[in-house]
Amino acid sequence: MMILDKQKPPIAVKKPYEKIFPLLQFCTSGYIVLIAILFSTGLLSVSCGSFPKQSAEAQSQRRSAARKKGGPVPVDVGIARPGFLRSPLEYTGTTTPFRTVSLRSQIEGQLLELNVDVGDDIKQGQIVAQIDDALLKTTLNQAQAELAALKSEVARATSQISNARVEVEKARLELLQAQADAKRQEKLLKEGAIAQQTAEQTRTTARTNAQVLRATQEKVRTEQQALAIAKGRLSAQVAVVAQAQERKSYGQVKSPITGVVLEKMTEPGNLLQPGNEIIKIADFSRIKVVVEVSELELANIQMGQSVKVRLDAFPEEKYIGSITRISPAADATARLVPVEIVILNDDGKIGSGLLSRIVFKGDAPKNIVAPLRAIQGAKGAQASGQMGNGKVFVITRKDGKTKVTARRVTLGKQADGKVEILSGLQPGESYVTRSGKPLTDGDVVKLSMLSETSATTEKK
C-alpha cells in the first residue's frame, strides 16, 4: 500500500505573457500620464498666449458695463484755494538783544559796591555800583570855597561901584554950585562990588570941582571893569564847581537803560581806572535777528516788511517781526546781504542766542494753485512756460448723485508739480485731483477717503 505524503500547495506557474503584463501596465499608465501632461501643457500655453488680449477685452467690457450701469468712479477731490507755486524760503538766525550797553568807570578809584548780579533786572537810572569818591569830594569842596570867595569879590566890587557913583553925584553937585558962584562973582566983579582976587578964587574952585567929577567918574569905570573881571572869574568857577559835582556823581554808577545784567567784569575791592568795564546791560524789550539773504531775493523784501519768526525754543509760539535794516553791502564771495529783523518781546520770554527761523511774508496769493496732474491737456500748453488752456473736472451734485463737469481753465506759471489757474475755477469749488480711470463729462463719481470735502462735496 502506497503511503502518500501531505500534498504541498501547487506552485503556480506563470505563463510568459503574464510576466510581461505588469510591465506593460506600468508603461501604459506612464504613457497616458505623459500624454496628459503634454496635453495640459499645450492647453496652458494656448491659454497663456491668449490671456492678455482676453484680459484687456474683459476690462474694457467691464468698464463699458460699469459706465452703462452708472457705477461711480472713485476719485480724489481737492478744494480750490489761492496759493503759491513755491513755498517761501526759510532763513535761520540767532536772537540778540535790541541793544547792549557796557557800563565803564569814568573816574579813578576803588570799587566799593556792586549791587547787581548776572540776570538781574534793572531800571533806567538805578545805582548799580559805588566807586570811592573821597578825592572828588575834596576837589568839590575846594571849588565851592573858591566860588564863595569870588562871589564876595563880586559883591565888594558892586558895592565900590555904588560908592563911586555917589561920589560922582556929589562932585557933580559941587561943580554946579562952584560954577554958579563963579558966574555970580564974575557979575559982581564987573559992577565993582568985589575985588579981582575974590572972583579968581571962585573960578579956581569951579575948575577944581570939575576935575574931582572927572576923577570920580573914572573911578566908577575902573570899578565897573573890576566887577566885570570878577564876574568872569565867578562864572568860570561856577563851571569848575559844576564839573567837580559831575565828576563826584561818577562815583555812583547808574544804568542808562532798562534791561538785564548780562555780565559782570569786575568785583568790589578792585581799583578802577577811567574806561574800565564794570558790567554789561542788555535791552530785551525787543529782539534782533540778523539773517543773510541771497542777492536774488532782494527784490522781494523791503524796509518795514513783516516777517514770520519761529523759535525752536518755543515751537508753539508764533512771532511777527519787521525788517529794520537792509545792509547796503553784500558779501563779495557768497553774495549774501545781511538783513536785520526786530521782534517785540513784551513778556521778556525771548533770550539771547536762540535759534530762529525767518520766513519773509509776501503779498497774499491771488491765483488758485492746483496739482498739475489735475489738469487735462496741460503739458503742451506749459511746455514753453507760456500760459495756456487746460481742462479740470469740477464736482457737482445733481439728482442726488455726485458727478463731474468738465471745465476749461486758463493756466499760468507752473513749478514743482503745481500750476496756477488764472480763470475758470473759483475759490471754494471742488475739483478732481486724481482719478483711477479716465473721466468724461457727466460721469458719476465716488469720493475717496483722501478727498477734501465741503458743503458741495459731501460723501454719499
Assess whether pLDDT exceeds 80 at residue 4. Answer: no
Shared domain check, 340 and 318? yes
Burial of 414 (C-beta count, 10 Å sphere; 0-12/13-18/19+): buried
**Could you tell me if residue 325 is inside a domain?**
yes
Shared domain check, 434 and 390? yes
Q: What percent of the chain has pLDDT over 70?
A: 80
pLDDT digits (tens, 9 = 90+) for 403-443: 888 889 888 888 778 888 888 888 888 898 888 788 888 88
CA 178 → CA 169, 201, 293, distances in Å? 14, 10, 99
Give the residue numbers spanning the domain of 309. Answer: 283-360
Assess whether pLDDT exceeds 70 at residue 19. Answer: no
CA 193 → CA 21, 89, 177, 178, 456, distances in Å? 215, 124, 21, 19, 143
Element (H, E) at 51: helix 16-69
* Strands (DSSP E) found in 32-189: 73-79, 90-104, 109-114, 121-122, 127-131
pLDDT digits (tens, 9 = 90+) for 56-88: 454 445 445 445 455 788 888 989 888 777 677
pLDDT at residue 303, rounded to an integer? 92
Shared domain check, 342 and 431? no
Assess whether pLDDT exceeds 50 at residue 242. Answer: yes
- Label residue 5 by pLDDT band (50, 70, 90): very low
Is beta strand 445-447 parallel, antiparallel or unpaired with respect to 73-79? Answer: parallel
Assess whether pLDDT exceeds 80 at residue 344. Answer: yes
Q: How far apart are CA 213 and CA 374, in angstroms?
A: 117
209: number of Cβ within 10 Å: 22
Mean pLDDT of the chain: 79
User: Which conformational region is residue 324 in: left (phi greater than 0), alpha (psi within -120 to 50 degrees), or beta?
Assistant: alpha
Contacts of 396 (CB under 8 A, 6+ apart): 402, 403, 404, 405, 456
Assess whether pLDDT exceeds 50 at residue 16. Answer: no
Of 111 and 453, the one with more pLDDT: 111
Q: Give the amino acid at 322.
A: S
Shared domain check, 347 and 370? no
Shared domain check, 387 and 351? no
Shared domain check, 429 and 389? yes
| Most confident range, picked from 194-208, 223-237, 263-277 | 263-277
pLDDT digits (tens, 9 = 90+) for 119-153: 999 999 999 999 998 998 999 999 999 999 999 88
Q: What percent of the chain has pLDDT over 90?
A: 33
- Total domain count for the chain? 3
Say which range, 5-19, 74-88, 191-205, 351-365, has the weakest mean pLDDT: 5-19
CB 96 within 8 Å of CB 351: no
Taking Cα atoms as reference points, which of 373, 426, 431, 424 lies closest to residue 404?
A: 431
Residue 370 pairs in a beta bridge with 419
Final residue of a structural domain among 308, 333, 360: 360
**Could you tell me if residue 435 is inside a domain?**
yes
Is beta strand 277-294 parallel, antiparallel or unpaired with respect to 336-344? Answer: antiparallel
**Could you tell me if residue 77 is inside a domain?**
yes
Contacts of 458 (CB under 8 A, 6+ apart): none
pLDDT at residue 387, rounded to an integer? 58
Shared domain check, 297 and 355? yes
CB 94 within 8 Å of CB 338: no
CATH number at residue 377: 2.40.420.20
Of 33 and 69, the one with more pLDDT: 69
- Per-residue pLDDT, averaged over 375-380, amounts to 67
pLDDT at residue 30, rounded to an integer? 44
Final residue of a structural domain among 196, 227, 249: 249
**Could you tell me if residue 268 is inside a domain?**
no
Is beta strand 259-264 parallel, antiparallel or unpaired with respect to 127-131? Answer: unpaired
Q: How far apart are CA 87 and CA 347, in angstroms?
A: 31
Whether the predicted model's global pTM rises above the 0.85 cut? no
